[in-house]
Amino acid sequence: FGLPAENAARERGVHPAKWTYENIANMRTELQRMGLSLEWEREFATCQPEYYQHQQKLFLDFLKAGLVERKESWVNWDPVDGTVLANEQVIDGKGWRSGAPVEKKQLSQWFLSITKYAPELLDALDKLDRWPERVRLMQANWIGRSEGAKLAFTLADSDGTVEVYTTRPDTLFGMSFMAIAPEHPIANDSAARDPKAAAFIADCKSRGTSEATIETGEKLGYDTGLRVKHPFIEGATYPIWIANFVLMEYGTGAIFGCPGHDQRDMDFARKYGLDVTPVVLPPGADPATFALGKEAYTGPGTAFNSGFLDGLDVDAGKRAAIAKLESLGVGKGLTNWRLRDWGVSRQRYWGCPIPVIHCDSCGVVPVPDEQLPVRLPEDVTFDKPGNPLDHHPTWKYVNCPTCGAKARRETDTFDTFVDSSWYFARYCSPKADVPLVKAAVDHWMPVDQYIGG
């Protein structure tokens, strides 16, 4: 299963199943010619119903347990391939395979709620005593636990608010601007009334969207003309900028900029002539003479130029700022995670069907176990853009298993990485009528070396 196989089959005018199985046969022949000692009785392919019926059952188990959610999210949309792309599949603003400019759009997607396991995943890293330290650190950073505050800034010209998550509430007195993601509702409102804002947002959406691209790329912004009030300083207001380095999917899609103590904010402020006010004094520095150059100060120190926080170290300043926000009713302490829920649906034909039915009366209805596996129709055509399952004349039309009314199958299929996320364990008991046989898994796992492909 997967987008590469489907696209290759399209280009050659053959069915993806034919193309896939022919290539499997070729690869099998090559491995046999190499004389490798392989246990061919354990061979299977993720596109075989005997495999993916268990994947569908696992998904329904997750759904029943409250570990699956369907929700609107901002995605990278490849208009040529007609599907969602991961951030890493967007290269210089273009689809990794099609080369087409990628668009940002909102779609209803299926997600596995892996964030519910974030604390458990992080704590378990300490038990992996044979893992290289650099790998454990990489995993810890990917999970990304952070302690901070969530607060609401009030708009200067209305009662509306903008929510922000920050790990540095102790630096609020160093604020000089607010930055919002190009997909933020306020950015959308600005685009509707300001053609220049609309053009800037369109340019942002055409650029690379991976975190690495954003981190190393030029920091660009557009002043919306709107301002927000400071939660602590009476009468102080600050401009709201649309910025290409703020991600809608992380935190709240908005940040407060403190250039003195964040290098990204510093670069942005210097570029656009915004104020830079230091509010953390390094150990031994003189508050009367301390000044910042081109680099933000991110080390330890004590608060100054910070009203009621003056004299407190960083940790004490964070606690005091959060307490003040809570007493004012505008914020609270919060643990946040870099880890995101896993978007697993793709708008493609050649993938494992997602086993749910949409009924106007009953909503989302799981396909009954006795009707699994939900198989792909073989009589599809690729003469229209988009997902062939949407265009099939009969496959998606079914009766609701609950009420019997006319209903529709889910036409999204699973991302191919769902298929490959668990097949290593299936090799232990590839012919079993359940996904995994515990005794077999306990016997064979963990493997010494694992090569996926």
Judge whether residue 450 has pLDDT over 80. no
**Structural domain includes residue 286:** yes
| Residue where the block lists tokens 């995670």 | 337
What is the C-alpha to C-alpha distance for residues 174 and 233, in angstroms, rounded to an integer? 11
Same domain, 283 and 349: no
Judge whether residue 233 has pLDDT over 90. yes
Judge whether residue 210 has pLDDT over 80. no
Same domain, 309 and 363: no
Tens digit of each residue's pLDDT (9 = 90 or more) over 123-139? 999 999 888 999 999 99
Which stretch of DSSP H or E encloses residue 411?
none
Cis peptide before 182 (omega within 30 of 0): no
What is the C-alpha to C-alpha distance for residues 35 and 278, in angstroms, rounded to an integer? 68
Model pLDDT, residue 185: 95
Q: Which stretch of 72-86, 99-113, 188-202 has the lowest confidence by average pLDDT?
A: 72-86
Judge whether residue 371 has pLDDT over 80. yes
- Long-range contacts made by residues 18-25, C-beta under 8 angstroms, separation at least 24? 20/45, 20/47, 20/350, 21/45
**Structural domain includes residue 193:** yes
What is the C-alpha to C-alpha distance for residues 223 and 241, in angstroms, rounded to an integer? 4
What is the C-alpha to C-alpha distance for residues 118 and 114, in angstroms, rounded to an integer? 7
Q: Which stretch of 59-63, 144-148, 366-370, 380-384 has the lowest confidence by average pLDDT?
A: 380-384
What is the C-alpha to C-alpha distance for residues 132 and 91, in angstroms, rounded to an integer? 30
What is the C-alpha to C-alpha distance for residues 280 and 300, in angstroms, rounded to an integer? 8
Tens digit of each residue's pLDDT (9 = 90 or more) over 143-194? 999 999 999 999 999 989 999 999 999 999 999 999 999 999 999 999 999 9
Span 380-390, average pLDDT = 87
- Which structural domain, as residue segments, surrounds residue 183? 144-337
Same domain, 350 and 333: no
Model pLDDT, residue 105: 82
Model pLDDT, residue 451: 73
Judge whether residue 214 has pLDDT over 80. no
Model pLDDT, residue 334: 95
**Residues 285/288/291/297 CA torsion (nearest 10 deg):** 40
More confident residue, 23 or 452: 23
What are the distances in angstroms from CA 208 to CA 7, 8, 217?
Answer: 23, 25, 9
Model pLDDT, residue 335: 93
What is the C-alpha to C-alpha distance for residues 96 and 37, in angstroms, rounded to an integer? 36
Same domain, 364 and 385: yes
Model pLDDT, residue 399: 97
Model pLDDT, residue 229: 98
Judge whether residue 426 has pLDDT over 70. yes
**Structural domain includes residue 139:** no
What is the C-alpha to C-alpha distance for residues 348 and 389, in angstroms, rounded to an integer? 8
CATH number at residue 256: 3.90.740.10
Same domain, 306 and 393: no
Same domain, 325 and 377: no
**Structural domain includes residue 130:** no
Which stretch of DSSP H or E encloses residue 11?
helix 3-12
Integer-rounded Cα Rg, in Å, for the chain is 26
What is the C-alpha to C-alpha distance for residues 362 and 48, in angstroms, rounded to an integer? 31
Q: What percent of the chain has pLDDT over 90?
A: 78
Judge whether residue 365 has pLDDT over 80. yes
Tens digit of each residue's pLDDT (9 = 90 or more) over 5-55? 888 898 899 999 999 999 999 999 999 999 988 899 999 999 999 999 999
Query: Which residues lie below 8 Å from residue 402, measured CB to CB, with a gap of 6+?
Result: 359, 362, 365
More confident residue, 384 or 264: 264
Number of independent structural domains in the chain: 3
Tens digit of each residue's pLDDT (9 = 90 or more) over 396-414? 999 999 999 999 999 999 9
Judge whether residue 212 has pLDDT over 70. no
Domain boundary (277, 312, 337) is at 337
Judge whether residue 452 has pLDDT over 90. no
Same domain, 411 and 429: no
Span 213-234, average pLDDT = 91
**Structural domain includes residue 126:** no
Model pLDDT, residue 129: 87
Same domain, 169 and 316: yes
More confident residue, 103 or 71: 71
Nearest Cα neighbor of 281 from 307, 263, 261, 295 is: 261
**Structural domain includes residue 122:** no
Which stretch of DSSP H or E encloses residue 365?
strand 363-366
What is the C-alpha to C-alpha distance for residues 346 and 44, in angstroms, rounded to an integer? 23
Span 355-383, average pLDDT = 95
Which tokens is 59 given?
Answer: 């998904």
**Residues 279/283/288/292 CA torsion (nearest 10 deg):** -60
Which tokens is 216 given?
Answer: 């190393």
Same domain, 352 and 405: yes
Report residue 204's pLDDT band, with 50, 70 and 90 as the boundaries: confident
What is the C-alpha to C-alpha distance for residues 194 and 80, in angstroms, rounded to an integer? 29
- Are the C-beta atoms of 305 and 291 separated by less than 8 Å? no
Model pLDDT, residue 419: 94
What is the C-alpha to C-alpha distance for residues 440 and 299, in angstroms, rounded to an integer? 52
Tens digit of each residue's pLDDT (9 = 90 or more) over 287-327? 999 999 999 999 999 999 999 999 999 999 999 999 999 99
Same domain, 151 and 48: no
Model pLDDT, residue 213: 66
Span 330-343, average pLDDT = 93
**Structural domain includes residue 43:** yes
Same domain, 289 and 361: no
Model pLDDT, residue 350: 95
Average pLDDT, the chain: 93
**Structural domain includes residue 97:** no
Same domain, 411 and 436: no
- Are the C-beta atoms of 334 and 190 separated by less than 8 Å? no
Q: Is 289 exposed, middle or buried (0-12, 13-18, 19+ CB in 10 A)?
A: exposed
Model pLDDT, residue 209: 59
